[in-house]
Amino acid sequence: MGSGRADLRVREINLPDEIRDELSACLDRLKWIIAGVKAGGIEGWTRGRENASRQDASPCPPPHAAPGKARSAEMSTEEPKKPCAEPQLIEAALGEVGRELAGCTRCRLHAGRKNLVFGEGSAKSGIVFVGEGPGFDEDQQGRPFVGRAGKLLDKMIEAMGYGRPDVYICNVVKCRPPENRTPQPDEIENCSPFLIKQISALNPRVICTLGACASQSLLGSGKPISQLRGKTHLWRGIPLICTYHPAYLLRNPVQKAATWQDLKALLKVLAS
């Protein structure tokens, strides 16, 4: 769609920052909705608009969407779902994992890192995103998904009706592989006890793996992402949805429609 142009116009108009940001976020959500319509066809869209079920009506925000995000009247009446655990307990458990990992030299990746990228966010939404490993920007800043792929992930999260602070974001490996290559099996294995402890501490309602590496690592599968996506898996009893990695989407925007289907499936799991 010509949303790029529309986005430019929004940015050109002299508006207070807050309103301009909100308008930009609306345009992003619209882009995702249109991608979803393209993927699901007019029928899916009509069903959603007629509100056959709340889930079908997504990409409206889920019941416990971030304050200030657009809400349907139906959703606003719903009580927010309880967080998985007391935030202080989660923080304490994550802190412990972080301390155990600090200064890690368990694999060769430590040699090239500037910063270990542990993960960040909250379990407020019940969603944990798992990526592959830090890239250049993440290594520089010590934070996950802060580069171009991260900006797209932010948009995906917003399209789901959440803000970045509402979700937890981490990676399979915590140190940047050289030249952003795929982490090797022994590197993944060395880091996996920490990922397991991290996810277990968060005890999310749903895990979303981004790309083949994270999906295959958590599911112990060798199948391609195209075969792993499109269904709800279980990881230690927690629903797990696989989708395309945002970096892949930057190169293959046509797959955004399929990704939106995956995110809608995730919202359904959350609403169930």
Interface with ligand URA (CB under 6 A): 131-135, 138, 144-145, 147, 149-150, 171, 247
Of the pair 117, 206, the CB lying nearest ligand URA is at 117
Do the beta carbons of residue 130 and residue 183 sit within 8 Å?
A: no
Inter-axis angle of helices 17-49 and 3-12, nearest 10: 150
Alpha-carbon span 39 to 229, nearest angstrom = 14
Alpha-carbon span 238 to 84, nearest angstrom = 12
Residue closest to ligand URA, measured at CB: 131
Of the pair 12, 179, the CB lying nearest ligand URA is at 179
Of the pair 40, 133, the CB lying nearest ligand URA is at 133
Q: How far is the CB of 177 from ligand URA (least distance, A)?
A: 10
Of the pair 145, 194, the CB lying nearest ligand URA is at 145
Largest pairwise CA distance in the chain: 56
Q: How far is the CB of 131 from ligand URA (least distance, A)?
A: 3
* Cα angle for residues 63, 72, 28 (degrees, 5° grid): 90
Of the pair 215, 261, the CB lying nearest ligand URA is at 215
Q: How far is the CB of 171 from ligand URA (least distance, A)?
A: 5
Tokens of 163: 């803000």
Q: How far is the CB of 79 from ligand URA (least distance, A)?
A: 33
Of the pair 58, 171, the CB lying nearest ligand URA is at 171
Q: How far is the CB of 149 from ligand URA (least distance, A)?
A: 5
Q: How far is the CB of 263 from ligand URA (least distance, A)?
A: 17
Q: How far is the CB of 222 from ligand URA (least distance, A)?
A: 19
DSSP per-residue codes, 141-171: HT-SS-SHHHHHHHHHHHHTT--GGGSEEEE
Of the pair 170, 269, the CB lying nearest ligand URA is at 170
Alpha-carbon span 59 to 159, nearest angstrom = 7
- Give the side-chain half-sphere CA count within 13 A for 114: 10
Within 8 A by CB and 6+ apart from 133, the residues are 109, 117, 171, 172, 173, 174, 175, 176, 177, 180, 183, 213
Inter-axis angle of helices 17-49 and 256-271, nearest 10: 80
Of the pair 60, 117, the CB lying nearest ligand URA is at 117
Q: How far is the CB of 3 from ligand URA (least distance, A)?
A: 24
Tokens of 4: 């790029």
